[in-house]
Amino acid sequence: MTGYKEFHRRSIDDRTGFWREQAALIDWQTPASKVCDFSNPPFAKWFAGGRTNLCHNAVDRHAAQRPDAPALIYISTETGQERTYSFAELKREVERTAAMLRGLGVGRGDRVLIYMPMIAEAAFAMLACVRIGAIHSVVFGGFAAGSLATRIDDARPKVMVTADAGMRGGKAVPYKHLVDEACRLAQNPPERVVIVDRGIDVGFPRVDGRDLDYATLRAHHLNAEVPCEWLESSEPSYILYTSGTTGKPKGVQRDTGGYAVALAASMKHIYCGHEGETMFSTSDIGWVVGHSYIIYGPLIAGMATIMFEGTPIKPDAGIWWSIVEKYKVSVMFSAPTAIRVLKKHPAELIHKYDLSSLRSLYLAGEPLDQPTHEWIMGELERPVIDHYWQTETGWPMLSAMPGVEQTRIKFGSPSFPVYGYDLRIFREDGSEAGANEKGVVGVLPPLPPGCLSTVWGDDKRFVSTYFTLFKDPQVYSSFDWGIRDEDGYYFILGRTDDVINVAGHRLGTREIEEAVQGHSAIAEVAVVGVNDALKGQLPIAFAVLKDASKGETAEQRAALEAEVMKTVDGLLGAIARPGRVHFVSGLPKTRSGKMLRRSIQALAEGRDPGDLTTIDDPTTLQQIKTALGG
């Protein structure tokens, strides 16, 4: 085995040879005539001329070899349901759903919008779409009617698949009502809505002539055989909107062949998941992690994948680890925010279970602070791999790659550029930054296979959004700040719009947050820049205490505030010292666990907090307001 450096170098210098080898990890009906067609930069067509099918690679080829091996493990701690589908059973269900969609007139290139809770039928629907060449657009079930309507109008689906309701923390979350409302708001609502009736929202309204029952349709297609449609590699597999943390969501368009190869290769080199093993990603199918590492990635690798409907703390904070024990999970994927939640519970809930099957835990989605990284790696006693990527890329950009070389983990760092990405740190003038110099994370095109091929329906927006930060060279901009240390390890310092300017000094909010977390009483913190007549901007911190009882009185809070400021002074210097440290019991985040810094900042500057349809807990905003008023 070659080491990481050589592996990465070859992926850039001998792009064609490298990716031709990786392409052999999947089945092709017709092999590609050209590995990368980059004749129209920055658009890249991977495996041009090749024909393949995602569903074939994820389901059929395994069903043929190992029909009885587990494929999809559905666990709901909300309804108490638990069921394992073998590859043969999964294939049958997918064919039934595919026949259903075809019966409704859905064909190659048509869009199907999937607005569903974490139930097995959601996976069937996604796989059924790619099987027949239809393009799915999964919208996270937490989005409100308005956000759903915008996505309906952008994707213009022929059919929508939904459920009566979801469940969260024991409470029913209505889906069908929201779908009806969204269809009323949308300019181009779908012709048909198929509903999985879970019996949660009894008597939900039905629209005659439009609404259809999933179980009834399925019963008509029990013996359906629907062959896979062979698609040209660059035909779209799906559209997925970015979370919208930083503004109007963009419809990321994914291809077919490049994506399948990228995922297959990542399962081998990054996640090291093998046929017959089990992967557990705690995300949701509404996010990119759900697409790549609940559905397609593990299945392409012939692994069983766990689809979990529930929260990490119910019935108690040991639930995930009990699942790891029961299903012998070997690869696990989660987000820092969830680990910070677990950190507030006794570690005994981890140690109670036999975790010997688990090789490593991967985390992504937001910065993983050092203390949390150290804590979870200490408790699990195995590698916890921070890795960095975006909806746009579909798979990791920065990561350790244990399948290539076992490299040392540095706390707080997502390690190195992944093969295929010519990733660098750029100064604002487009020149390359040196070691320990802060800059923007960029990638020299072509982007590797699996990354977005364009913005759905808007090639101009693809170019103008991602490829115009620097005039020369043409670089894909991540809109994240990063830094590379002298050992070649990268660190993500936050988003480019999360940078604040204090008296002419540019500071990443992440750096200040890390410094605030250097104080042992702090569990979590958000730092935002607030307009200041004197300094331009002033950092203001909103912190959550590990032990709320330590900040009950005004004196306690004042003492802590002074200590935190001192900690920041010591770590970063007085220039980064927050003007105020407010104590709250929770921070506003999206349902995917990302901090809504823009909303916090707006409140701190007395402005409207903006679109909050994805906020997880609205009471957190009230707390910010109260803290600011006090």
Helix axes 619-629, 597-604, angle to 10 degrees: 30
**Near ligand ATP by CB under 6 A: residue from 244, 394, 439, 446:** 244
> From the CB of 398, what's the least distance to ligand ATP, in Å?
7
**Near ligand ATP by CB under 6 A: residue from 366, 422, 511, 561:** 366
Residue 19 or 389 having the CB closest to ligand ATP: 389
Strands (E), 255-301: 278-281
* Window of 23-31, 39-47, 381-389, 515-523 that interacts with ligand ATP by CB under 6 A: 381-389
Strand partners, 329: 278
Residue 109 or 457 having the CB closest to ligand ATP: 457
137 binds ligand ATP (CB under 6 A): no
390 binds ligand ATP (CB under 6 A): yes
511 binds ligand ATP (CB under 6 A): no
Select from 306, 316, 386, 384 the least CA-distant residue to 353.
Answer: 316
> From the CB of 495, what's the least distance to ligand ATP, in Å?
5
- Within 185-224, which residues bind ligand ATP (CB under 6 A)? none
Cβ neighbours, 10 Å, residue 203: 6
> From the CB of 35, what's the least distance to ligand ATP, in Å?
27
246 binds ligand ATP (CB under 6 A): yes
482 binds ligand ATP (CB under 6 A): no
Query: Reduced to 3 DSSP states, what percent helix, strand and coil does the chain have, rounded to the nearest 5?
Result: 35, 25, 40
Residue 98 or 118 having the CB closest to ligand ATP: 118
282 binds ligand ATP (CB under 6 A): no
Token look-up 């017959």 returns 276
Is the preceding omega at residue 42 within 30 degrees of 0, hence cis? yes
57 binds ligand ATP (CB under 6 A): no
Pairing, β 454-455 against β 251-254: antiparallel
Residue 464 backbone dihedrals phi, psi, to 5 degrees: -70, -30
What residues have CB less than 8 Å from 16, skipping those under 6 apart? 35, 36
334 binds ligand ATP (CB under 6 A): no
* Window of 94-102, 185-193, 387-395, 519-527 that interacts with ligand ATP by CB under 6 A: 387-395
Q: Are 162 and 176 in contact (CB under 8 A)?
A: yes
Token look-up 């959004």 returns 465
- Within 283-302, which residues bind ligand ATP (CB under 6 A)? 288
User: What burial class does residue 268 get, using C-beta atoms within 10 Å of its C-beta: 0-12 exposed, 13-18 middle, 19+ buried?
Assistant: middle
> From the CB of 480, what's the least distance to ligand ATP, in Å?
5
Select from 528, 610, 515 the least CA-distant residue to 571.
Answer: 515
Give, in order, the Cα–Cα distances in Å from 182 to each of 104, 143, 157, 519.
21, 10, 13, 46
* Window of 243-251, 354-362, 572-580, 603-611 that interacts with ligand ATP by CB under 6 A: 243-251
> From the CB of 88, what's the least distance to ligand ATP, in Å?
34
> From the CB of 514, what's the least distance to ligand ATP, in Å?
12
Give, in order, the Cα–Cα distances in Å from 57 to each of 61, 410, 573.
6, 35, 54
Select from 262, 331, 326 the least CA-distant residue to 296.
Answer: 262
243 binds ligand ATP (CB under 6 A): yes
Token look-up 């349809």 returns 613
* Window of 105-113, 359-367, 374-382, 538-546 that interacts with ligand ATP by CB under 6 A: 359-367
Strand partners, 88: none
User: What burial class does residue 334 get, using C-beta atoms within 10 Å of its C-beta: 0-12 exposed, 13-18 middle, 19+ buried?
Assistant: buried
Token look-up 């093998």 returns 274
User: What burial class does residue 487 get, using C-beta atoms within 10 Å of its C-beta: 0-12 exposed, 13-18 middle, 19+ buried?
Assistant: exposed
Residue 57 or 337 having the CB closest to ligand ATP: 337
DSSP letter for each residue of 608-621: -----TTBS-THHH
373 binds ligand ATP (CB under 6 A): no
Q: For residues 145 and 168, what is the distance between their CA atoms, to the nearest angstrom?
A: 18
> Side chain identity at 209, as an amino acid letter?
G
* Window of 144-152, 236-244, 308-316, 543-551 that interacts with ligand ATP by CB under 6 A: 236-244
Residue 143 or 388 having the CB closest to ligand ATP: 388
Residue 133 or 365 having the CB closest to ligand ATP: 365
236 binds ligand ATP (CB under 6 A): no
* Window of 4-12, 239-247, 417-425, 536-544 that interacts with ligand ATP by CB under 6 A: 239-247
**Near ligand ATP by CB under 6 A: residue from 97, 237, 242, 360:** 242
593 binds ligand ATP (CB under 6 A): no
**Near ligand ATP by CB under 6 A: residue from 364, 384, 560, 568:** 364
414 binds ligand ATP (CB under 6 A): yes
> From the CB of 242, what's the least distance to ligand ATP, in Å?
3
> From the CB of 433, what's the least distance to ligand ATP, in Å?
18
Q: Are 8 and 417 in contact (CB under 8 A)?
A: yes
Chain residues binding ligand ATP by CB under 6 A are 242-246, 249, 288, 364-368, 386-391, 414, 478, 480, 492, 495, 594
